[in-house]
Amino acid sequence: MPTNLPPQFYTISEKLKEAKTLEEKISILETLLAITPKHKGTQKLQRDIKTKLAKLKGRKPKKTKRETLYSIQREGARQIVIIGRANSGKSTLLNALTRAKTKVASYPFTTQIPKPAMMPYEDILIQLVDTPPLTEKSPPWLKGIMKESDGLLAIFDLSKDSVGGDIKNLKEILNNWRITNKKILFLGNKIDLEKSAINLQKIGAQYKIKAVSCLKKIGIEELKKEIFDLLEIIRVYTKSPNKPSPDFEHPFVLKKNSQLITLANQIHQDFTSAFKFAKLFKLNSKKPRIVGKDYIFQDKDIIEIHTR
Ligand SMILES: Nc1nc2c(ncn2[C@@H]2O[C@H](COP(=O)(O)OP(=O)(O)O)[C@@H](O)[C@H]2O)c(=O)[nH]1
Ligand SMILES: [Mg+2]
C-alpha cells in the first residue's frame, strides 16, 4: 500500500470492516476513493477501490422492503438507539445530547421514522438514533435497527405510576425479539416533576435506573460519560516515528482490552509481520515505554509503531 496516504484513510478504512449494510460499504469506499491522492503511486489502490465499488454496486438490492428504507447510515465511533414508549421523552433526549432539533410534542407518535444525530463526547462522536414509540406492534425495521446497534438507551416516564409496568413490558418485548445480549442503559426521565421522585423510590430497589430530566437538563452531562462507558470502548492515538506529535485528530476507537496487534492489523495488514516494537506514550508523561504486540491498550494511549 502507498505510504503517503492521509491519516483519515486508515481511520475510514477501519470502518469498512465494521460496516454492515451495502449502502454503508459503498459510501465508505466512495469516501476512500475521494481522499486518495491521485498520482502514479496510488494507481493500483485506486483501481482496487473502484473494482470493489463496482462489485458492490452490481449487488445492490432494490429497495422494495420497508426495512431497507429505514436502515441508518452509520457514522461516528459507535451507534446507540434510543427506545421507549410514546411521550417518554426520546426526542427531547436526542435534542439534549446532540444539536438535533427534532420535533417534540405532548401527543404521541410525533417521531415516525428513525432520526440519527451525533453526540460529541470529548474527541469522538457517537451516533444516537431517535425512534418511534416501542410497542409489541412496532414495525420490523425498528427491531432491525435495535439489533444492529452497539447499545440501547431505554427511556421511561418516571412521572407515570405505570413506570414499573413499563420497564417490565420493555423487557418482555426485548425477550420476544431475542434482543438479549445488548448493552442497555435504563433512564428514568422527567425527574423534575414532583411525582417522579416517589415513583423512582418505588421501583429503585427492583431496577437500576438513572434519573434525568431531558427538558430541564438534569443529569445530562454525566449521561454522556455513562453512554461512553456503556460502549466499553477506548481511544488510541497514533504517532508516526518521523513526526514530532501524535495525531490527536483521528483517534482509533477500539474495544476495551484490545491488544496492540489489533490496531496494527487495522492500520495495515503488513504491520503484523513487519512489526518490530512500539513506543507507548502517556498523556501525562514524556518518557515512552517500549511495548510488544500483546500490550493491552488503555483509553487515551499514544502509540508509535516501528516496523522492519
Ligand atoms: N416535565 C418534563 N417534561 C418532559 C421531559 N422530557 C420530555 N418532556 C415532555 O414530554 C413530552 C413528550 O416528549 P417527546 O420528547 O416528544 O417524547 P417522545 O414521544 O418519546 O419522543 C413533551 O411535551 C416534552 O416536552 C422532562 O424531562 N420533564
Ligand atoms: Mg419522539
Query: Which ligand has the shortest distance to the CA of 114?
Result: 2
Does pLDDT of 265 surpass 90?
no
Grid cell for residue 129: 438514533
> What gap in Å lies between CA 232 and CA 257, rounded to an integer?
9
pLDDT in tens, 180-201: 999 999 999 999 999 999 999 9
Q: Is the CB of 87 under 6 A from ligand 1?
A: yes
- Residue 41, C-alpha cell as written in the block: 503511486
Is the CB of 89 within 6 Å of ligand 1? Answer: yes
Task: Please state the atom number of ligand 1 nearest to the C-alpha of residue 88.
Answer: 20
Strands 247-255 and 233-238 turn out to be antiparallel
Query: 164 CA distance to ligand 1 centroid (A)?
Result: 18
Ligand 1 pocket member 111 (CB < 6 A): yes
Q: By alpha-carbon position, which residue is closest to atom 14 of ligand 1?
A: 89
Q: Work out the pLDDT band at 67, boundaries 50, 70, 90.
A: very low
Give the pLDDT score at 64. Answer: 47
8 A C-beta contact, residue 187 and residue 85: no
* pTM, to two decimals: 0.77
Instruction: Say how many Å lie between the CA of residue 157 and the centre of ligand 2.
Output: 13
- pLDDT classification of 61: cutoffs 50, 70, 90: low
The fraction of the chain above a pLDDT of 70, given in percent, is 93
CA gap 45, 64 in Å, rounded = 34
| Cβ-count burial 229-259 (b if 16+ within 10 Å, e if not) | ebbebbbbbbbeeeeeebbeebbbbbeeebe
More confident residue, 100 or 237: 237
* Among 92, 93, 163, 166, residue to substitute to test ligand 1 (most atoms within 8 Å of Cβ): 92
* Ligand 1 atom with minimal separation from the 86 CA: 19
113 alpha carbon – ligand 2 mean position (Å): 9
Count of positions (residues) in the chain = 308
Under the banding of pLDDT at 50, 70 and 90, the label for residue 14 is confident
What are phi and psi for residue 185, nearest 5 degrees? Answer: -110, 125
115 within ligand 1 shell (Cβ under 6 A): no
Taking the C-alpha atoms of residue 200 and residue 205, their distance in angstroms, rounded to an integer, is 9
pLDDT tens readout for residues 123-139: 999 999 999 999 999 98
Which numbered ligand comes closest to the C-alpha of 156? 1
Q: Helix, strand, coil: what percent of the chain each, to 5?
A: 35, 25, 40
